[in-house]
Structure 1
Amino acid sequence: MTEPHRKIRVLIVDDSASVRMTLSEIIAGDPDLEVMATAADPYVAVERIRQEVPDVMFLDIELPRMDGLTFLRKIMSQRPIPVVICSSLAEAGSETLMQALEAGAVDVVTKPRVDTAQFLQESRMRICDAAKAAAHAKFRGVHKPAPPITVEAKLNADAILPPHSEARAASVRARQVETDPIVCIGASTGGTEALREVLEKLPADSPAIVIVQHMPEKFTNAFARRLNGLCAIEVREAVDGDVLRPGLALIAPGNQHLVLHRTASRYTVNIVDGPHVSRHRPSVDVLFRSASQVAGRNAMGVILTGMGDDGARGLLEMRQAGSHTIAQDEESCIVFGMPKEAIQRDAVARIVPLSRVAGEIDAYARAPRRPGASS
């Protein structure tokens, strides 16, 4: 007799009854998720946690009696639970959200709105995916096995950028000129702190870096500003037409794809709309595919912690085009999903702990001859 399918149990903490109801409906509508309980403030949430520990907690920042950030810090110091921040804070409150991620929250989503059917559907997808990813997160080196999840249909990078034909790809490789090296990084769940650790270690003359971190719009700008204040390199949210240069890291804006272009030896970025790719917008696969097509051996691809397989196909295309490719190892990942998928596809030349990623980037940039696909 087969065991019943165990669902991921979610605790919702929000002072708005309508938000609790909408989130409950979204979560209950997913076959892999169920609502364990809801709470209007942290004190009610604590009582529910004493009765049963959830697999994931959705937490608002602005709460009565105790603010969400204080509650998060108490939870993480006493009994860590995977926490997804669910907030309607706009740009003015984004610094608080950055503090929540630094305090241990694994992801951030915007509160669902019912403006249009499309927006609600996109909110539904993002919220459910965030819950499943958080359930697989590990803390302090301890990983609690999560229930298996249902694999859902998704678009690939073809929806934004068509693949090169084999003949065209060979032609591009044959006439590819040397340029300054560029680095493309993809990350998702747990990636905000992973990126901070990597970028903080890089010297001011590091190669140009382009980043896709799965994060809602507006929050990416705050994230970039936060990193810019901590790093020797300049970090900012990408704007359409930005020119890549050494010492600059550009982060793809939330809810838009980022595509690389090259004119002679100069690289620029285009910010484009379009459908979700690998269930994400921005998508790592879109960035990596564009890098494979315009940079090839002049690029390095890095895939960090995250749930799902976004970036795995694109990283393989980069390696096949001559790029050097690395992945974060399982031990140092919050969620070993995206790196694992890339490794299984033979898209990765080297697997390294997070602590060594910055060194790999620096070594690649300073090597007299950049490695090719066989590195």
Structure 2
Amino acid sequence: MSPSVKVMIVDDSATVRQVLSSLLDAEPDIEVIGTAADPLFALEKMNRNWPDVIVLDVEMPRMDGITFMKKLMAERPTPVVICSSLTESGAQTTVQALAAGAMDIITKPHVGLRDFLTGAGKEVAAAVRAAAKANLKRLPPMVAAPPKHSADVVLAAPVQAMHQTTEKVVALGTSTGGTQALEMLLTSLPRTAPGLVVVQHMPEKFTAAFAQRLTNLCEIEVREARQGDRVLPGRALIAPGGRHLLLQRNGAQYQVDVVDGPPVSRHRPSVNVLFRSAARSAGRNAMGIIMTGMGDDGACGLKEMHDAGAWTVAQDEATCVVYGMPREAVKLGGVDRSLPLQELAGAILAFANGPRSRPGEPSV
């Protein structure tokens, strides 16, 4: 029998600590070894018995969760699941925690907290189990945010001609570990990169702040997708949390639909939904990329893209924080190549500059 996952809960709310402790201790493979009202108290306890996973609030007295995360990742990397209230101001802070290495987000409301946490017990336990399996040695380094000033700060960027806008599109899906992997990938792309449509498993209200952080770091534009947004070179559209993202053809152009609907593969947004729409709307003009993540969301959709003539790539096991989604896609036979994270940007540019077929195949 494998040992239990040891968990430390750090939250300034006594209710949260009590309810989460009760819920997690009820799981046969999880053991709560301690709770603390702030990170400094937590460190005192952790130095005596280090946990496998930390469930962490963001806004706390004495030391905030972001500072604590950075300290942990620099000194003793440990998987962290963020448990934070959903507010617009808090979303920005929580995205910073994800960028610092947090594995997942559990959202908690301001009212009805006890009932919410009780109902979300299985979700919390699943997030803890997934975090415990993460390989933090594979997390890419954080990217500093240097000034992005150029002549464009004074001169307006040239408008792209219509015939240059929608020839090819990249559909990308990721989950656990994906916030850091996406940051590394997107900051490596030039403004001439093909348009990207992205699903990152993330709750509502966080995706806008996540996209804003990335656009501040990247040469390309990154933003939360809105209904009818065009897919253009130098632009990445990220699915809003809680809604599905579909790629659609509109004459000679691609655009996105942002739609409601039930969870697919247990997720909304779902990578499978995006990939299936890309297979149907773009076919061999598309490239599909599946990256680090727990579970199998995206595996079937990537196979559909592959069968429709798209070029399909999986992040390799050596650079994934969690090699779940890519493994399932490989097992289904939907992956043309597996590549390390640091080579994905080059693969995207090779696809953009190559013939309208899979790289290595004759053009039709």
- 1:52-201 to structure 2, matched below 5 A, reads 52-111=49-108, 115=112, 123-141=120-138, 180-201=167-188
1:21 aligns with 2:21: no
- The answer for the alignment partner of 1:299 in structure 2 is 286
- Distance across 1 between alignment mates of 2:225 and 2:138: 34
- Calculate the TM-score normalised by the size of structure 1: 0.83
**1:48 counterpart letter in structure 2:** K
Q: Could you say if the C-alpha distance between residues 88 and 50 of structure 1 is closer, same or farther in structure 2, counting changes exceeding 3 Å?
A: same
The answer to whether the 8 A contact 1:303-1:311 is kept is: yes
Q: Could you say if the C-alpha distance between residues 63 and 300 of structure 1 is closer, same or farther in structure 2, counting changes exceeding 3 Å?
A: same
Q: Could you say if the C-alpha distance between residues 111 and 34 of structure 1 is closer, same or farther in structure 2, counting changes exceeding 3 Å?
A: farther
Segment drifting more, 278-287 vs 30-39: 30-39
- The answer for the alignment partner of 2:210 in structure 1 is 223
Q: Could you say if the C-alpha distance between residues 29 and 283 of structure 1 is closer, same or farther in structure 2, counting changes exceeding 3 Å?
A: farther
- Distance across 1 between alignment mates of 2:260 and 2:25: 30
Deviation at 1:319, TM superposition (A): 0.4
1:240 aligns with 2:227: yes
- The answer for the alignment partner of 1:309 in structure 2 is 296
Identity %: 55
- Distance across 1 between alignment mates of 2:259 and 2:122: 20
Deviation at 1:59, TM superposition (A): 0.7
**1:9 counterpart letter in structure 2:** K
- Distance across 2 between alignment mates of 1:258 and 1:20: 35
- The answer for the alignment partner of 2:255 in structure 1 is 268
- Distance across 1 between alignment mates of 2:211 and 2:113: 29
Deviation at 1:130, TM superposition (A): 2.0
Segment drifting more, 77-86 vs 189-198: 77-86
- Distance across 1 between alignment mates of 2:283 and 2:124: 35
2:41 is paired with a residue of what secondary structure?
helix
1:9 is paired with a residue of what secondary structure?
strand
- Distance across 1 between alignment mates of 2:87 and 2:110: 14
Deviation at 1:100, TM superposition (A): 1.8
- Distance across 2 between alignment mates of 1:300 and 1:294: 12
Q: Could you say if the C-alpha distance between residues 125 and 322 of structure 1 is closer, same or farther in structure 2, counting changes exceeding 3 Å?
A: farther
Aligned-residue CA RMSD in angstroms? 2.6
Q: Deviations over 1:313-361 (max 9, x none)?
A: 1111110111100011111111111111111111110111100000000
Deviation at 1:293, TM superposition (A): 1.5
- The answer for the alignment partner of 1:367 in structure 2 is 354
The answer to whether the 8 A contact 1:319-1:373 is kept is: no
- Distance across 2 between alignment mates of 1:113 and 1:65: 22
- Distance across 1 between alignment mates of 2:110 and 2:279: 37
Q: Deviations over 1:247-270 (max 9, x none)?
A: 211000011111222233222212
- The answer for the alignment partner of 1:145 in structure 2 is none
The answer to whether the 8 A contact 2:199-2:271 is kept is: yes
1:228 is paired with a residue of what secondary structure?
helix
2:89 is paired with a residue of what secondary structure?
helix
Segment drifting more, 270-279 vs 223-232: 270-279
Q: Deviations over 1:130-178 (max 9, x none)?
A: 2122111112259xxxxxxxxxxxxxxxxxxxxxxxxxxxxxxxxxxxx
**2:75 counterpart letter in structure 1:** Q
Segment drifting more, 94-103 vs 181-190: 94-103
Q: Could you say if the C-alpha distance between residues 310 and 31 of structure 1 is closer, same or farther in structure 2, counting changes exceeding 3 Å?
A: farther
- The answer for the alignment partner of 1:39 in structure 2 is 36
The answer to whether the 8 A contact 1:133-1:306 is kept is: no
- Distance across 2 between alignment mates of 1:259 and 1:141: 30
1:348 aligns with 2:345: no
Segment drifting more, 108-117 vs 77-86: 108-117
2:317 is paired with a residue of what secondary structure?
coil
**1:80 counterpart letter in structure 2:** P
- Distance across 1 between alignment mates of 2:339 and 2:249: 29
**2:221 counterpart letter in structure 1:** E
The answer to whether the 8 A contact 1:22-1:112 is kept is: no
Please, which of 241, 251, 262 is the counterpart of residue 238 of structure 2?
Answer: 251
**1:357 counterpart letter in structure 2:** L
1:292 is paired with a residue of what secondary structure?
helix
Segment drifting more, 108-117 vs 130-139: 108-117
1:185 is paired with a residue of what secondary structure?
strand
- Distance across 1 between alignment mates of 2:241 and 2:90: 16
- Distance across 2 between alignment mates of 1:97 and 1:117: 21
**1:232 counterpart letter in structure 2:** E
- The answer for the alignment partner of 1:279 in structure 2 is 266
- Distance across 1 between alignment mates of 2:257 and 2:115: 24
- Calculate the TM-score normalised by the size of structure 2: 0.85
Deviation at 1:230, TM superposition (A): 1.3
Q: Deviations over 1:240-298 (max 9, x none)?
A: 22121222110000111112222332222122222222221111111111111221111
Q: Could you say if the C-alpha distance between residues 105 and 323 of structure 1 is closer, same or farther in structure 2, counting changes exceeding 3 Å?
A: same
Q: Could you say if the C-alpha distance between residues 205 and 245 of structure 1 is closer, same or farther in structure 2, counting changes exceeding 3 Å?
A: same
Q: Could you say if the C-alpha distance between residues 317 and 120 of structure 1 is closer, same or farther in structure 2, counting changes exceeding 3 Å?
A: farther
